[in-house]
């Protein structure tokens, strides 16, 4: 459909029909051949309004979606097709590691491939849009939704945002096996006060622009077709009514011309925020801010028409919103083929595609972070003099819920547990060392239960059964030379609505850990979680700690492959692990303050420090071990002065680009991958600057004894920031460049910008 044809269509639509395009409902409104009267009545909607709704949330299955689309288009006055949307976060039927884990890969292209697979599987069930990627910057591990972000660094998040969008949308969103991406949650949603879900956000304009907005802007630059508003207030204005955010920054400053959708019921929540006196005012405020789609309220449907007819709401606002929605449908090719890639064959597929499984198994170890290794890993596949038997003891030995709370569309039976992977390796003859398995306890404590988006889980075991589990685990641990303990938080203890003030491994699991440690201290902890946890005791007592997050469908295979050295854990932390919950929020790029504390220094009382804990996190951003060792040479620079471009045509004396280099050497006995990280510190600026900022990284794989020169370009753009007058640009002065294995590296050199 041409642009002119869309405008003609818009001009021919009735006011009610246009308002309908702004309404998004769930699939249960269309669950049967006839419309469901219960949901309509609950939301105070008429059949005519439901007939004109422009999009559907969370209906799944090609057969069902084709039926809904066909039936809907027969009733819709202009036969305009529906948009089908859903939360496809870290995979569809094939589930990949959670986004926070993907951030730890330091490999945006890998996440782009995961998104491409997810798009293919989702598109063939009839979906058109995914509510992903979530690019909210996260620095407080108490917040449950840190699992959906790729971490604490603006630069890293922006790269992942762009790669994931390209994976979903391809070169053109209307292509086969591609879907539209929706960047969320705009803006600042990852910084709620106290780490509490839906809470207010307090950010200065400089902090907002320096740290929180860049990843969203990267989404616009990558061509994301949709943005979603956040639930929080910013500057005490809820995002859904925040005209400055949505109109001035998103649309005018950045040039976003796609669809803007509210989060679930967020327009109606303007009343609870206390910014709208009634639904009419809520409708006015949200539409004025530029919110095109009202997800699951009747605010637009029931409270716009009269205001438009009476002139209080310009019909132009409505027309602009409708045109953006029609344009997305047109880009997807729905006017020509309203079913797009939907194919009932995929509803009945008995198995995940083998290539997708293989890719998931290969990708997961790149997200695993080896936090500690006192010589135990990798484990031997055959008996040795030191290790003749291994016991796997812990609740995640047999747990299939290893996909994360926002994984909604997988089949539970297709997930591979650690025990299943071990048995498969034994049957194939790959694993000849004696291995035993026992749960020891359940993931949840006695009688504990947890509701989730997908299912409800409860520990149904009796006390007697739990005592027997523990006794079996202790007996296995006594007999074994090494104990591998897969522990961690329940998958529904992270995600939306899962904020916590205690962020350790559950206490009943820690009791099992302590009892096992008392009979056999040779412990490898495999930690499952959707957030950084307080691992002080585990890190102190265990000989090795492997962070596997929620690894997805092929988690069991990937973990066993990694523990026994078939693959290596090559992830690096994309979010710092706090020493304890009292440190949160904690992140590497903090300001030094006027009274900086130096760890280990006897610097007196009146400095910026805790008296009962270190300032540094337990494990810092960028940290991670492997199965070999690397050394770095000193940093060398191609010059000491970087020229500052005064105008587009002129630059001062010096080079317009510097090259910073190190020589990396694998001094271990195995091939291995190192994530070489580049950080820059501005030594003096018109405003206080972070102690360092990530500006580049490279994943380098070397054979034993191999060396390689690793180089990074340093440009003036990398040194720009929001200056004291809030203009964006560089300032002359001295800078430090650091190249090393994590954000704590002191391997650096100095240069000047002049």
Residues marked as catalytic = 263
Distance set, CA 632 to CA 10, 578, 636, 661, 748 (Å): 62, 27, 11, 10, 11
| Residue 709 bridge partners (DSSP) | 663
Please give the Cα distance from 300 to 21 (Å, whole number).
10
DSSP 631-660: EEPPPEES-SEE--BSSSS-B-SSBSSEEE
Residue 732's φ and ψ, nearest 5 degrees, are -65, 155
Task: Output DSSP code: residue 566.
Answer: S
Is the distance from CB of 293 to CB of 266 less than 8 angstroms? Answer: no
Is the distance from CB of 82 to CB of 68 less than 8 angstroms? Answer: yes
Please give the Cα distance from 119 to 129 (Å, whole number).
9
Q: Which of 750, 588, 739 is nearest to 676 (CA)?
A: 739
Distance set, CA 466 to CA 440, 458, 463 (Å): 7, 14, 5
Please give the Cα distance from 490 to 378 (Å, whole number).
26
Please give the Cα distance from 478 to 516 (Å, whole number).
8
Tokens coding 531: 């957030």
Q: Which of 290, 282, 279 is nearest to 244 (CA)?
A: 290
> What are the helix (H) ranges across 240-348?
243, 270-273, 279-289, 299-303, 305-309, 315-331
Three-class secondary structure assignment of 26-83? EHHHHCCCCCCHHHHHHCCCCHHHHHHCCEEECCCCHHHHHHHHHHHHHHCCCCCCCE
State how beta strands 544-547 and 369-373 pair.
antiparallel
> What are the helix (H) ranges across 520-662?
536-541, 555-563
């Amino acid at each position: 459909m041409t642009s002119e044809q869309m405008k003609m269509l818009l001009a021919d639509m009735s006011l009610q029909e246009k308002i309908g395009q702004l309404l998004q409902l769930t699939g249960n409104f269309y669950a049967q051949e006839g419309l469901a009267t219960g949901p309509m009545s609950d939301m105070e909607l008429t059949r005519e309004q439901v007939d004109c709704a422009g999009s559907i949330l969370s209906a799944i299955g090609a057969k069902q979606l084709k039926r809904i689309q066909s039936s809907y288009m027969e009733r819709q006055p202009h036969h305009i097709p529906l948009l089908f949307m859903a939360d496809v976060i870290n995979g569809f039927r094939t589930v990949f590691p959670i986004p926070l884990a993907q951030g730890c890969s330091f490999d945006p292209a890998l996440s782009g491939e995961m998104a491409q697979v997810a798009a293919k599987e989702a598109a063939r069930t009839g979906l058109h849009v995914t509510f992903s990627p979530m690019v909210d910057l996260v620095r407080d591990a108490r917040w449950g939704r840190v699992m959906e972000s790729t971490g604490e660094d603006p630069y890293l998040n922006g790269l992942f945002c762009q790669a994931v969008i390209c994976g979903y949308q391809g070169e053109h969103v209307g292509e086969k096996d591609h879907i539209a991406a929706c960047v969320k949650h705009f803006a600042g949603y990852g910084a709620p006060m106290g780490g509490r879900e839906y809470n207010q956000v307090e950010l200065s304009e400089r902090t907002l622009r320096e740290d929180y907005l860049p990843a969203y802007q990267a989404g616009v630059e990558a061509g994301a077709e949709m943005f979603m508003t956040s639930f929080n207030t910013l500057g005490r204005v809820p995002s859904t009514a925040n005209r400055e955010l949505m109109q001035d920054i998103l649309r005018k400053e950045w040039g976003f011309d796609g669809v803007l959708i509210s989060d679930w019921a967020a327009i109606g929540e303007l009343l609870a925020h206390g910014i709208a006196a009634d639904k009419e005012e809520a409708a006015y405020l949200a539409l004025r801010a530029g919110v095109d789609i009202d997800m699951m309220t009747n605010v637009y449907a029931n409270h716009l028409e009269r205001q438009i007819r009476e002139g209080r709401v310009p019909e132009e606002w409505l027309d602009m919103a409708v045109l953006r929605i029609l344009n997305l449908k047109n880009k997807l090719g729905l006017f020509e083929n309203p079913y797009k890639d939907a194919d009932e064959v995929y509803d009945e597929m008995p198995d995940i595609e083998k290539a997708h499984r293989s890719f998931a198994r290969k990708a997961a170890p790149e997200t695993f972070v080896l936090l500690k290794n006192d010589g135990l890993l990798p484990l031997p596949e055959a008996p040795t003099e030191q290790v003749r038997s291994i016991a796997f003891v812990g609740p995640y030995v047999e747990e299939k819920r290893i996909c994360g709370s926002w994984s909604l569309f997988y089949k539970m039976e297709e997930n591979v547990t650690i025990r299943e992977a071990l048995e498969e390796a034994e049957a194939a003859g790959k694993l000849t060392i004696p291995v035993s398995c026992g749960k020891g306890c359940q993931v949840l404590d006695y009688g504990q239960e947890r509701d989730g988006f997908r299912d409800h889980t409860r520990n149904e075991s009796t006390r007697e059964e739990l005592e027997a589990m523990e006794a079996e685990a202790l007996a296995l641990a006594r007999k074994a030379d090494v104990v591998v303990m897969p522990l961690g938080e329940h998958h529904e203890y992270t995600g939306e609505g899962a904020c916590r003030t205690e962020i350790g491994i559950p206490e009943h699991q820690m009791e099992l850990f302590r009892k096992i440690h008392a009979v056999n201290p040779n412990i490898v902890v495999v930690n499952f979680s959707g957030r950084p946890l307080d691992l002080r005791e585990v890190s102190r007592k265990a000989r090795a700690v492997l962070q596997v997050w929620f690894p997805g469908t092929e988690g069991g295979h990937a973990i066993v492959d990694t523990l026994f050295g078939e693959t290596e854990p090559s992830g690096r932390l994309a979010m710092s692990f706090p020493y304890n919950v009292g440190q949160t929020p904690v992140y590497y790029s903090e300001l030094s303050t006027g009274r900086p504390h130096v760890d280990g220094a006897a610097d007196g009382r009146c400095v910026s420090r805790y008296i009962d804990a270190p300032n540094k996190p337990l494990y810092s951003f960028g940290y991670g071990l492997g199965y070999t060792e690397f050394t770095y040479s000193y940093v060398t620079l191609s010059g000491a002065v970087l020229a500052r471009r005064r105008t587009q045509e002129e630059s001062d004396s010096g080079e317009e680009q510097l090259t910073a280099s190190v020589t990396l050497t694998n001094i271990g006995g195995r091939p291995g991958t190192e994530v070489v990280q580049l950080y820059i510190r501005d030594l003096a600026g018109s405003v206080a600057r972070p102690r360092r900022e990530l500006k580049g990284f490279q994943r380098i794989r070397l054979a034993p004894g191999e060396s390689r020169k690793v180089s990074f370009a340093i440009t003036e753009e990398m040194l720009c920031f929001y200056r004291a007058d809030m203009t964006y640009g560089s300032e002359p002065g001295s800078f430090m460049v650091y190249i090393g294995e994590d954000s704590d590296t002191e391997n650096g050199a100095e240069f000047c910008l002049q």
